[in-house]
Chain A
């Protein structure tokens, strides 16, 4: 991958990948941090990620793993050096719908949450979600169906309590 190609990819994909990882983890600042770090690693290991749309999958998976790993570490020992970039960010402001959605997603089992994010936010097909998560397509469909139902209930409940 040439520098120009990497730069274009980074600038085009950064925001959408942050949103996707944010939806999976529930922490937007951490998502930005982890996606940033994943792009640093991606350039370091660019020879292995030349696979078109697979690039986004690589960043998404790496960033998600980083976020989970950091969360585990923080539980045991808060270490500032764990943060790759450590810049406090101001995203594009709170949006009631996004806040409610992320809060609701956090109540779902991880497998359902990841399937919903990949299908409805990352815009992957069911087969692509199956490929990225290693689950059969039928299982993905079931997770999406159950996840959507649960999410709709949670959002309705939130709206009622608001």
Chain B
């Protein structure tokens, strides 16, 4: 008879802890790493920035700067705004896209020119011309389809906004006009919302209010458990604001990251978000995914600048 009575519950727990006869994993470690590397390459490709492009973006870190400095060199890749005078003078746009015509009336279908074109040689439109955000290539670099098979596209109307300590802001609901491009992947969610205000002062006020709101959120009890916010501020230049939010078990490593950035473009504010398990850390402006998403946004910034006719 045992000295101590056997606790059946403890015995059952012990049987679960004992893995001495457990079979080896199906995949050897090298195969697991190989799959992980492939996943990483695919993720990088989907992010719209190759390693080389990301390196360029690091060097051209001020590419999102919207004022107070020299104009950045336009990057060769990615869609740019067409200045073709009439839609009929260009080949039909691919399905789901259309030409953005700076002088014509807004198209009824919010679409973008997703085909890279030559840099503009025509004079820019008048700065006073109203910007139609739905004609901007907000989905540039996104996959063509969402996980459910629907096409990624630019749509008019409020964007999904950004959650800051439980408060959803930057939907653009009350702005003069707003459009959003979204991509919904399995573990990868992205959106770009272009909010056009009545004037630049209003847009700048929105940027500054958001910056203050995000800074107040750092360390706030309103943050979900296991979540933390890192403010990178104007790391991408004046007139920009960058922050990230991590999610994961409390005290443990982050499982998912959200990277958010604002870019002031005259009377417009571009809100760029990426979220989900597909995104790596965003604790520094030099982190790989921060660089890749910055690079991916350049064609959009350039297109809006082209449409406004100024930086």
**A residues apposed to B, CB below 8 Å:** 3, 6-7, 10-11, 14-16, 18-20, 22-23, 32, 36, 39-51, 54-55, 57-58, 61-62, 65, 85, 87, 89-93, 95, 97-98, 100-101, 120-121, 123, 130-134, 148, 151-152, 155-156, 159
Contacts and interface: CB of A to CB of B under 8 A. Distances in A.
A19 B16 contact: yes
Interface of B: 8-9, 11-13, 15-17, 19, 21-27, 29-30, 32-33, 35-37, 39-40, 43, 225-226, 248-255, 277, 280-281
Nearest to B254: A48
A55 B253 contact: yes
Nearest to A62: B255
Contacts, number: 140
B249 A61 contact: yes
A159 B248 contact: no
A42 B277 CA distance: 11
B29 to A, nearest CB: 4
Contacts of B250: 130-134
A154 to B, nearest CB: 10
B26 A89 contact: yes
A36 B26 contact: yes
Contacts of B43: 44
A95 B25 CA distance: 20
Contacts of B253: 48-51, 54-55, 57-58
A132 B32 contact: no
Contacts of A131: 249-252
Nearest to A55: B253
Contacts of B225: 134
Nearest to A156: B8
A134 B251 CA distance: 9
A98 B18 CA distance: 10
A159 B11 CA distance: 14
B39 A11 contact: no
A43 B26 contact: no
A14 B27 CA distance: 11
A19 B12 contact: no
A101 B8 CA distance: 10
Contact of A48 (B40, B226, B249, B280): B280
Contacts of B15: 95, 97-98, 101
Given A19-B17, A49-B253, A42 B25 contact: no
Name the residue among A36, A89, A123 with the largest chain B CB count within 10 angstroms: A36
Contact of B32 (A10, A47, A130, A148): A10
A92 B12 contact: no
A41 B39 contact: yes
A59 to B, nearest CB: 10
A20 B17 CA distance: 8
Contacts of B8: 97, 152, 155-156, 159
A3 B225 CA distance: 32
Contacts of A7: 29-30, 33
Contacts of B254: 48
Name the residue among A62, A132, A134 with the largest chain B CB count within 10 angstroms: A134
A97 B10 CA distance: 10
Contacts of A58: 248-249, 252-253, 255
Nearest to A117: B16
B26 A11 contact: no
Contact of A92 (B9, B22, B33, B281): B22
A32 B26 contact: yes
A19 B22 contact: yes
12 contacts: A3-B33, A11-B25, A11-B29, A39-B32, A43-B32, A47-B281, A50-B253, A57-B252, A58-B249, A121-B17, A148-B9, A155-B9
A85 B22 contact: no
A51 B248 CA distance: 13
A14 to B, nearest CB: 5
Given A7-B29, A51-B253, A131-B249, A101 B16 contact: yes
